[in-house]
Each structure stands twice: as C-alpha cells, then as structure tokens.
Amino acid sequence: MRIIAVIPAYNEEKRIGETITKIQPLVDGIVVVDDGSTDATFDAAKRTGATVLRHAMNRGQGAGLKTGTEAALRLGADVVVHIDADGQHDPSFIPILVDPIKKGEADVVLGSRFMGLQPEGIPFSRRVLHRAIKTFNSLVMGIPRKLTDPQSGLRAMNANAAQRLDFRQDRMAHCSELLRLITRSDLCWVEVPVKVIYSEDTLAKGNKNLDAVKIAWQLFLGMFSK
C-alpha cells in the first residue's frame, strides 16, 4: 500500500525540514504544498527530496490540503495522510492512523486529541474553544457528538475516500466541513487517540479564540456558495 503524507505549509522554513525528515521513514511519499509562503519554505522542503508544490498565493490550509490530496492521488496513493507542518503532530502516530485502513476496517481514520492521551501544554482557553466548536458542530453542522475531537488536523483516508470528500472551504472551516462530509457519507470512519504537542511557537500561529466566530461565518457563507 502506497502511503503518501500531505503537508500544507505556510511560512514554515524553520520547522518544515525537521517535520519532513521525521515523517519520511514512515510513509512512501510526501507532498508538501507551500501555500504562497513569503519565506524559504519551498526551498527548505525541496532540500529533503519531498514532492513540493507551490500555491502562487496564499489560499489557506484547507486549500493546501485539497491541492496536496489531489497530488497524492495523482502520484498513486492508496492512503493519504493529512498532517501539520509545524511539528505539533507526532509522526509516530502515522502507522496507528493507517493501520485500520490497511486492515480494511475503515475508510477514514481521524486522530483525536481527547481520547485518553493528554495533550501537552493545551491552554484552558483552547479547551473552551474546542467545547464551543463541538457544540456548534453538533447543533448547526449535524456532526455527531460522539466524535471526540472537533478540530483535529491529523487524519488518514484511503484513495476512495480522498477522491469522494470534496471539501471546498479554503481556510480554517475545512475541518468541520470535512467532518460533516465524512459522517454524512457511507464511508466507514473511526477515531484513534493521538497526542499533540502545543508549544508557544505553534500556538502563536494556530487558531485564535476569535477564530471560532470566523469559522462559523465561513461555514455559513459556504452554505450559499457552490
């Protein structure tokens, strides 16, 4: 089975190299999408030997993931793994994510930060944000509450699922949109526990608390857009 990791990266020249070299031994290929970075992300990623694509301008994480997923499929991926560029996802969980797909037990495997493994350094305000997103997801988006992590960026899917999950949200809202598409399809999905490391660095760049409002607004606009 050909496993290809997709890493969208925006201004990650410092961390992308290390992230890629950690992931490389665990997968058969890596697609990095440089999302219009203004720093040397493209060159840093290229040096590792990964397939690097470049967005001519910044289009957001969701857009980067979709471009990368399309590229992975073209490169003959059987399993596509989505993972963040900033190193907050521990790559050692990739085999755990891929395992249920290999065994044919699931089409989509979602990494959850809230299934026992305590995330490191997760601030209280971020917990409140997750709770708010979860409530919004279930009430407005119709995503089942049994899903423990509303906003996980670490996931794996087989080629069939990758082809069928046609997510359109370019920015942060792609997470909720994907969960809605997954849970409303006949695709078989499971959650597995993963550990995320929050550092000051990654927090500075990750979701801000106000982003919940932005995500809700983007999802709302998305309902009126083709």
Partner 1 sequence: MLIQIVLIAVLLGALYVTWRRARQNVITLSEALLWSVLWIAAGVVIALPQTATLVANFFGVGRGSDFVIYASVVTLFVLVFKIFVAMEGLERKLTEMVRRDALRDLPKKEDAG
Q: Would you give the binding string for partner 1 spanning residues 157-186, x where CB under 8 A is met?
A: -----------x-x----------------
Query: Residues 49, 74, 120, 123: which binds partner 1 (CB under 8 A)?
Result: 74
Q: Which stretch binds partner 1 (CB under 8 A): 18-26, 64-72, 104-112, 185-193?
A: 64-72
Residue with smaller CB distance to partner 1, 92 or 217: 217
Q: From the list 3, 23, 33, 165, which residue makes contact with partner 1 (rule: CB under 8 A)?
A: 33
Residue 197 found at the interface with partner 1 (CB under 8 A): no
Nearer to partner 1, 19 or 61 (CB): 61
- C-alpha span between 199 and 170 (Å, rounded): 25
- Applying CB under 8 A, which of residues 20, 45, 66, 111 lies at the interface with partner 1? 66
What sign for the dihedral angle of Cα 134, 135, 139, 141?
A: negative
Judged by CB under 8 A, which of 13, 70, 90, 211 binds partner 1?
70
In angstroms, what is the minimal distance from the CB of 71 to partner 1?
Answer: 6
- Kindly list the distances between the CA atom of residue 43 and the CA atoms of 33, 48, 153, 175, 179, in Å, as whole numbers in the listed order: 12, 9, 24, 28, 33
Cβ 62 to partner 1, closest distance in Å? 9
**How big is the site for partner 1, counted in residues (CB under 8 A)?**
25
CA–CA dist 8, 82 (Å, integer) = 8
Rounded to whole angstroms, the Cα distance separating 39 from 150 reads: 31
Q: By CB under 8 A, is residue 141 in contact with partner 1?
A: no
User: Is residue 54 a contact residue for partner 1 (CB under 8 A)?
Assistant: yes
Residues comprising the chain, all counted: 226
- The binding site for partner 1 (CB under 8 A) comprises 33, 36, 53-57, 59-60, 63, 66-67, 70-71, 73-76, 168, 170, 221-222, 224-226
